[in-house]
Structures are given as structure tokens and as C-alpha cells.
Structure 1
């Protein structure tokens, strides 16, 4: 239970909603500790919930477009209350369009848990039927890649237990 999962969330057919997918696809696995898994879940929130059921991951870092204070392209890191209910109450299961809280609600409903959830979010300019990110969101993708890499490295280092022979938790210089 000392692993970290970085999950890209979003729909690439809805403009800036594809932000999370774009960021995780640009992450360099060689720059991350061996205890960090990176997966593009896109719109497959049910798969993400089932991935977390086995209990291997202590921390989930979701990367997604989300409302944050500031203009489009503003980045934010938010820690989610994993014990609290979703703001919208119980959500119906929709495997192709689950928002992050719905994924956590489904995970809890299935009897699973994750101890810590962080969301690296970006304020979208447009979530419309269009391919590709808008200019303000595209302009911060590399900043988001650096932010996610640094965050994943820090979380992995915090979870490392000295003297346990745990796999590499050091980050490569990016």
C-alpha cells in the first residue's frame, strides 16, 4: 500500500476536458520513482475505481480539468476529503463520464479505499465538442507535467520506509 497512482482523467473529444489525458501522456516514466504508476484513464472512471480495489495504492493523484479560481489555464492542487461524501450525493454509475468524486464514491461503495487523493486541476476555457486543448490550457501543459512529476516524487518519498528494501523512490533529475 505504498504505491502512488497518477491518473489522467478526461474526454479528448471535449476540448479542455482532455487536459488530464494530455498531461499524463507527456509524463516521463524514467523521471518518476518505481513506486509511481501512471495511467491514462480518460473517460473510464469505472476502471479507475476497480484499479484501486486491490489496495496497492496509498495515494491517488488525479489530473483533470476542473473549476479553479483564476482564468483558463490556472493550475491548482486540491486535496480531496476521502472520508466525506460527494457534493452531489450518490451518483449513478456511468462508465464513460464519471467525475473524480463519483469515482471515489463508487470505490467506497465497492468496499475499497485509497488513503489520500490529490487533484491537479486546470481551469478550462472550453469544454465543448472539439478536438484539442484551447490556447490557454495548452500553454500550461508542460508546467502541469513538471508539477505532477514533482508532486508524485514528493508523495513517493514521503511514503518510503527507510530500511525496508522498498523499490527505488528517488526521482531522476527532470
Structure 2
């Protein structure tokens, strides 16, 4: 089973807005076989199936459940993307399980020498190696949830499952150009 680690802990609070008429990729990442690590894919699946849709506001929005397919995400980022919204778990840093954090990732937050595992997903490694693959880091945000349980197993813990609708709303707010506080 491919394990992954989330190493975007150095990313900072959100600044700025999602530009109108942008090409936006909403990427759910995580391993559904590691309980709460399946948060990102669950949010992406629900957003894609939401009958109300995601507000585009003139933007071209794609919602994709990448799971642990880091190379797939890397290759998709070689196509023109103006804004990347990653949905993933994030380190607690004192917050309770199920808490949401919105971060902005900048090039300086990433290690360009990070090893890119073709059979796994480390978002920081994927984004850090993007330039070496011929791409550029788009404006990147993380809608992250603090996990309660990353043990092997299927299904989100209660606090993380309860955070899914709020994460969906946060993604929609970002897409509408309203950066949530936090």
C-alpha cells in the first residue's frame, strides 16, 4: 500500500483572491486506505457530484480525485492551470481533529530536490518538482483538514467526516473569489 506524507506545513495563510476567468484545478489528494487521509478524495468526489456545482464565475473549473496518483497530478499541472486548490489533510499545529485550515503555497515553501514517487502522493514533492518537469507552480491554495486517525482502514473519523461539507463550502468560497478567514 502506498503511504504518503503531507509536507506542506510551511505554507502560509491565504493572501489574495482567486482571479476571475482563470483555469482552476481542484485536486483531492490522499490515500483512502489510511482513514482520514481519504479526506481530499472524499471532498473532490462530493464536489464533482454536487448538483449545485462549483461556482465558476467565468473560470474553467475541473474537480479531480487524484488519490495517491502524484504523477498524474504532476502531468495535469503541465497543462495551463492558473489556480490549484489542493484538498488534503494538514498537520494539527495545535488544532483539533476536523479543524479546517486554508493555506497558500508559494515556490519558497517547496523543495525542488524532493523525490517524486511515481507510485505515491506527496503534494509538496509533486509541486516542488514541477519546474524540473517543464511546468510552473500556479497560484496554489490548500484547503486542509486536521486528521484524527491515519491508521490503515477505510472511512473517515467522525470529526473529519463532519468537516467535509464545510470544506466543500470553503472551496466554493475560494472559487467565488471570497477567501475565507483562517
> Which band: TM-score by shorter chain?
0.7 to 0.9
**Shift in Å, 1:114:** 2.8
TM-score (norm 2): 0.77
Query: Using the alignment, how far apart are the partners of 1:59 and 1:68 within structure 2?
Result: 25
Q: Is the deviation greater in 13-22 or in 141-150?
A: 141-150
Residue aligning to 1:172: none
Q: How does 1:13-28 map to 2 (within 5 A)?
A: 13-27=33-47, 28=50
Alignment of 1:68 onto 2:92:
yes
The alignment status of 1:154 with 2:174, answered yes or no, reads no
Local SS of the residue matching 2:176 = helix
Shift of 1:14: 0.3
Match of 2:82 in 1: 58
Q: Which runs of 4+ in 1 moved over 6 A?
A: none
**1:163 alignment partner in structure 2:** none
**Aligned residue in 1 for 2:26:** 6
1:81 aligns with 2:106: yes
The Cα of 1:83 is off from its aligned counterpart by: 4.5
Q: Which moved more, 1:67-76 or 1:7-16?
A: 67-76
Give runs of aligned pairs for residues 118-129 of structure 1, distance below 5 A. Answer: 118-129=141-152
From the superposition, tell whether residues 116 and 31 of structure 1 become closer, same or farther in structure 2 (CA, over 3 Å). closer
Are 1:92 and 2:118 an aligned pair? Answer: no
- Normalization by structure 1: what TM-score? 0.81
State how many pairs are aligned: 152
Note the residue ranges of structure 1 that are not aligned, 5 or more in a row: 156-174
Distance in 1, Cα, partners of 2:139 & 2:174: 13
**Distance (Å, rounded) in 1 between the aligned partners of 2:163 and 2:110:** 31
Contact between 1:13 and 1:130, CA under 8 Å: does it hold in 2?
yes
Counterpart for residue 72 of structure 2: 47
C-alpha deviation, 1:111, in angstroms: 1.6
Quote the Cα distance in structure 2 between the aligned partners of 1:84 and 1:126: 26
- Distance in 1, Cα, partners of 2:30 & 2:110: 22
CA RMSD of aligned residues (A): 1.8
Unaligned runs of 5+ in 2: 1-20
Max radius of gyration: which structure?
1
Distance verdict in 2 for CA 1:90–1:154, change over 3 Å: same
